[in-house]
Each structure stands twice: as C-alpha cells, then as structure tokens.
Copies of this chain bind each other. A is one copy, B any other.
Amino acid sequence: MPDREDKLTRTTVRTITDLARLAGVSPGTVSRALAGKSLVNTQTRQKIEALAREHGFRPNQMASGLRRQKTGVIGVVIPLGHDIRQQISDSFFMTLLGFLADELTTNGYDLMLRRVVPDTDPDWLDRFIGSGMIDGVIVIGQSDQFERIEEVADGYRPMVVWGNHTEGQRHCVVGTDNRLGGRMAAERLIAAGAQRIAFLGDTGPMEFAARFAGAQDVAARMGLPPVLPLVTHLSPDRASEEIAAHLAQHGRELDGIFAATDTLAALCLTELRAQGLAVPGDVRVVGFDDLPIARQTVPALTTVRQDIAAGAHGLVDLLLRRLAGESTESLVLPPELVLRETA
C-alpha cells in the first residue's frame, strides 16, 4: 500500500498540492515557500525547495495568473496594413522584435506575438487586450490604425506603440524623429550635389509621410522644386518592378533619391545600375534605417540610422513604468546620418 502510493506520488507531482502532501505541509505553505516569502520557516522552505527541484515541479502559470490577475506576459502585436506581405519578413520590424524579446526576458516577462489584419478584424486590439492573457501590449507600427489606437489608449494604460509621434496624440509612442530624419536625408543629398529629389516609397503610413515631409521642408527652404513622390509597395518582389518603372519614366530628370527604407534603397541601386545610371555620379541615394544591408550594397549606402536597440529598450521601459502606474511621455529618438558612398 505505501509502496504503491509512493510510486504514484513520485511520478505525478504536478500540482502544488501533490508537493504539499510529499512535504507534509499544506498547499498554502508550499506556495509561500516557492514564492520566496519571508513568512516561511527556513528549514521548511529548504525542504520544499529540495523536493520541488527533485521532482522538477513548476507551478502552473495559468492558475497563478488567474488568481493573481497578472500573467507575466506582454503582448506584441503587428498590425498588417494595406501591404500585407510587407512586414512578413521586414528586417526592421523583425530586428526590433528580437531586441524586444531580449528586453522583456531580462525583465522577467514572456512575449506573446500576434500578427493581425485590421481590415478583416476591426476588433484586433480590444480582442488582444481583453483576452486576459497579457499584462500589457506593445504595438509595432501604427499602420493605418492611428484612430483605433487612440481610442483604446483612453481606456487602457499599459500600452506603448512603436511609430510616429504626432502633436497632441494620446497614446504613448516610441519612435525616431522621422521628419528630422527626412530633413537630414534631403540635406545630405543636396550637399552631395542633388537638386531634383525624389522620395521612393509609400507616403501613406505616418512614419513614411513624416520622412517625406521632412525632405519637403528642406527642398522648400532651399528653393528647390518639390520632392517627387515615387510610390511603391514595400515587399521586394513588387517593389522591384515598380522602381524600374519609376526610374524608366523619371530617372533622367532626377539627381537625388531618398528611399523610405534601406530595403527600397538597395533595390533602387540595383535598378539604377541596370538602367545605366551612376551612383553617386548621376544620382545620389540616401536610405533609412541603417540595416545590415546598408553596409553591403555597392556602392555602400548612405543612410539615416534608427537606433533599434534603444527603441526596444524604450518601449519596454515605458511599458513597465506604465504597468507600475506611472503616466509617461512619448519618447522620440534622434536619427543619425551615416555617411557612406551613395551620397
């Protein structure tokens, strides 16, 4: 009889109650011991810890989360806007995600990742928040959901968004000063000899719109003709053709291109070469992001750097502060011009 029970409990110590039985104490005591509370006698605690280790026991996070009303999980959601295929392998977002994972882990949180399509699921944000699975949420990219995010922000504190900062907005955002970055890019193009500048990329998303606006600022200030928007998708496959078409039409009249991202810039370099335009001789090019690829294009890409690690750190830091009840300001990071060979 005792044999069988012994064997049984040995194999099946899944709950805190099992462990309590083994240790000859009550479940409450086990819970406190494992939580490291000071109320437990040191000997008792050590015995319990030893048993727990021996049986590889881990408390059920679901139950714990339910009771404590906190899960130790932060939701990270990527809204996929118009250009759904875009972010699927977008280096920038993915790198940010990697850093976020590290930052969150460091702070003892797990990361729940969700990619949503707002067009087919208007309820994406509330649904995630209301699931009860996450203590807070980080939104990567505003996409075309600025309004939705604003609404939610009014009633839900632990949310931080990566994206563009707009005067007077209500949600807490972390992001690069895109407009300033756009200005830096245009100024560099002009300093390198450009007079007739184009912006390559979709001007719809807020971040890109701000970059474009920054370039416009400079063109206007310098008395140059307005920056010409060359709209493209972001996914490499579609963008290539679009860029080729744009260049075929406007290539000869341009002498400077500001690309919305390094990825587009790299494609653009390839196309420029294909069309026999020299960089930076005929056309100067500046990118945005400073992804690893910027160093490897030929010629190497001059670009506006976003500090991704700092961004991730800021996102997590602000979110934790908000979880702790603080109310926080948005964080705008300074862009940095990285001079290489294309401008």
User: Which residue from B101, B127, B132, B269 sits with its C-beta under 8 Å from A113?
Assistant: B101
A101 to B57, CA, bound (A): 30
Size of interface on A: residues with Cβ below 8 Å to B: 49
Nearest CB in chain B: distance from A67 CB, A: 9
A263 to B269, CA, bound (A): 19
Q: Does A267 contact B (CB under 8 A)?
A: yes
Q: A94-B98, A95-B89, A112-B73 are in contact. Are A60 and B236 (CB under 8 A)?
A: no
Q: A60-B132, A293-B293 are in contact. Are A112 and B115 (CB under 8 A)?
A: no
In the complex, which residue of chain B has the Cβ closest to the Cβ of A269? B296
Q: Which residues of chain B are within 8 angstroms of A270 by Cβ–Cβ distance?
A: 295-296
Q: Which residues of chain B are within 8 angstroms of A95 by Cβ–Cβ distance?
A: 88-89, 94
A95 to B131, CA, bound (A): 27
User: Which residue from B65, B97, B101, B295 sits with its C-beta under 8 Å from A236?
Assistant: B295
Q: Does A275 contact B (CB under 8 A)?
A: no
A127, B94: Cβ atoms under 8 Å? Answer: no
Nearest CB in chain B: distance from A285 CB, A: 13
Nearest CB in chain B: distance from A142 CB, A: 19
B56, A62: Cβ atoms under 8 Å? Answer: no
A12 to B115, CA, bound (A): 29
* Interface mask (A58-73 → B, CB under 8 Å = 1, otherwise 0): 1111110110000101
In the complex, which residue of chain B has the Cβ closest to the Cβ of A80? B102
Q: Does A146 contact B (CB under 8 A)?
A: no
Q: Which residues of chain B are within 8 angstroms of A110 by Cβ–Cβ distance?
A: 112-114, 133
A132 to B71, CA, bound (A): 12
Q: Does A130 contact B (CB under 8 A)?
A: yes
Q: Which residues of chain B are within 8 angstroms of A105 by Cβ–Cβ distance?
A: 114-115
Q: Does A48 contact B (CB under 8 A)?
A: no
A61 to B273, CA, bound (A): 54
Most buried by B among A57, A263, A292: A292
Q: A91-B91, A113-B101 are in contact. Are A63 and B132 (CB under 8 A)?
A: yes
Nearest CB in chain B: distance from A307 CB, A: 14
Q: Which residues of chain B are within 8 angstroms of A61 by Cβ–Cβ distance?
A: 131-133
In the complex, which residue of chain B has the Cβ closest to the Cβ of A237? B292
Most buried by B among A73, A131, A263: A131
Nearest CB in chain B: distance from A300 CB, A: 9
B295, A296: Cβ atoms under 8 Å? Answer: no
A132, B94: Cβ atoms under 8 Å? Answer: no
A112, B114: Cβ atoms under 8 Å? Answer: no
B88, A91: Cβ atoms under 8 Å? Answer: no
A105 to B126, CA, bound (A): 17
In the complex, which residue of chain B has the Cβ closest to the Cβ of A296? B266
Not counting A58-B131, A61-B133, a sample of 5 additional A-B residue pairs whose C-beta atoms are within 8 angstroms of each other reads A73-B133, A88-B98, A105-B115, A236-B292, A270-B296
- 6 smallest CB-CB distances across A and B, nearest first, come from A60-B132, A94-B94, A58-B130, A298-B298, A89-B95, A62-B66
